[in-house]
Amino acid sequence: MERRLSAIMAADVVGYTRLMEADEEGTLTQLKAVRSEIVDPKIAECGGRIVKTTGDGMLVEFTSAVEAIRGAVQVQQEMAARGGDIRFRIGVNIGDIIIDNDNIFGDGVNLAARLEAAAPEGGILISAAVHDQIAGKVEVSFSDGGEQSFKNILKSVRVWRWQVGNESSPGTEKAPLALPDKPSIAVLPFNNMSGDPEQEYFSDGITEDIITALSKFRWFFVTARNSTFAYKGQSPNIPQVARELGVQYVLEGSVRKAGKRVRITGQLIDALDGNHIWAERYDRELVDIFDLQDEITSAITGAVAPELAATVRKRSVQKASEFLDAWDLHNRAMWHLYRFNQEDAASAMELFERAIAAAPGFAAAHASLAYQQFLNVILGYSDNPVASLEAGLRAAKRAVELDEKDSLGHCMIGRILCMYGQNDASIAATERALDLNPNSFIVRLSMGMVLA
């Protein structure tokens, strides 16, 4: 097998699956024309070798980073001038590659593919290694995208981006917003895949209801509807959307109606590394549209929130202990809590107390401490159940004092009062928790328990 240093270009059609579902023959005809009239000739002019193609993309090798960028820019400029539904994302990297039977492999190829996936629509994303090689040698300017992490790439990579129209003003791109202190999510408008414009209200309604439902969870930040609906009708690049909105997680989905049947899909993506945290498909009969909207909203919210919580807890556990702040201490404690054994329960208690010591006004830490005290009693971990319940009730009441909308705090008040036999007060507290967050599994389970 041969090794050599090459510039690698990865290209992919934006929204290929959506285009094929909408018009398979038309999409294939357009793509064939684009390849023969623009892409293949421009690559050949710049000395590129098409290594392989897929239905919606290609991998190209160049002997020079400068020629790779010239080819990529010319393709994107010609595509913009041509118009139409076909648009490309392009990623370019330079690295040592392995050649085997005319195919190419290696870390340099893998990074080119990751750069392509994170590139803007109709634009190009390149590594710092490429940028160093082309400085002062090409006619366009790239804007600094900062350090980024990519799936299965061990080290973060500094990236540079370019889009058609930014040739003389590379700084016009939206500046990335800083991430909030707590986990953050944007719910993009669900795509109406039905081919029926009248179904837009249904897909928009589901999106709006999910935003509202997720906003009831006090422990993460949800981007407002007005911000996310700016992307309606587009096929946005998820990492770019996350940077522009200042969030780490993005929820997207689609709605397709056929007769009396409707299919709703959703997927939750970690924009920092591109991992899909959760994905699901729901097939339903369309009888009462509002009942269906409520059912799907509840199902998606009830699935997404726990997955998001589990991901956040996992990240906190992986952090070095000297860098833990109150939020991370709380999330690490929750990871131990959900292990449901006595040793981890003790670790959770200690971490909750440290979180409260670090931030006495942190309502969620008080509520979660109350939850652990309650679990210590019902799971038999406590040597003094009476004292544990008293401490749990104090912590739950303190949580509600600090944040009246903390549903877990109200829920724990209800559960502990139920154990005291104060049924009316218990039901009232748990109903308040349910009003605040009807999609919380813990709250819904507790409502059933106090009514039993």
Q: pLDDT tens for residues 5-46?
A: 899 999 999 888 888 888 888 889 989 999 999 999 999 999
Q: Which residues pair with 127 in a beta bridge?
A: 159
Q: pLDDT tens for residues 290-320?
A: 778 888 888 888 777 777 777 666 655 555 4
The answer to whether the CB of 134 falls within 8 A of the CB of 72 is no
Q: Provide the CB-side half-sphere exposure for 233 (13 A, CA).
A: 3
In whole angstroms, give the CA distance from residue 117 to residue 112: 9
| Percent of the chain's residues with pLDDT above 70 | 91
pTM of the model: 0.45
Which of the four CATH numbers 2.40.33.20, 1.10.357.10, 3.30.70.1230, 3.90.79.10 does domain 2-172 have?
A: 3.30.70.1230
> Helix-strand-coil percent breakdown of the chain, rounded to 5?
50, 20, 25
Could you check whether 184-315 and 319-451 share the same CATH topology? Answer: no
Domain assignments of the chain as residue spans, ordered by start: 2-172, 184-315, 319-451
Which of the four CATH numbers 3.20.20.20, 1.10.1040.10, 1.25.40.10, 3.10.20.600 does domain 319-451 have?
A: 1.25.40.10
Mean pLDDT for the stretch of residues 99-125 = 87
The answer to whether the CB of 415 falls within 8 A of the CB of 450 is yes
CATH of domain 184-315: 3.40.50.10610
- The DSSP symbol for 360 reads T
The answer to whether the CB of 436 falls within 8 A of the CB of 216 is yes
In whole angstroms, give the CA distance from residue 154 to residue 78: 35
Q: pLDDT tens for residues 36-95?
A: 999 999 999 999 999 988 878 899 999 899 999 999 999 999 998 888 889 999 999 998
Q: What is the pLDDT of residue 203?
A: 86
Q: pLDDT tens for residues 384-437?
A: 999 999 999 999 999 999 888 889 999 999 999 999 999 999 999 999 999 888
- 178: pLDDT strictly greater than 80: no
* Among 229, 225, 277, CA closest to 249: 277
In whole angstroms, give the CA distance from residue 292 to residue 270: 28
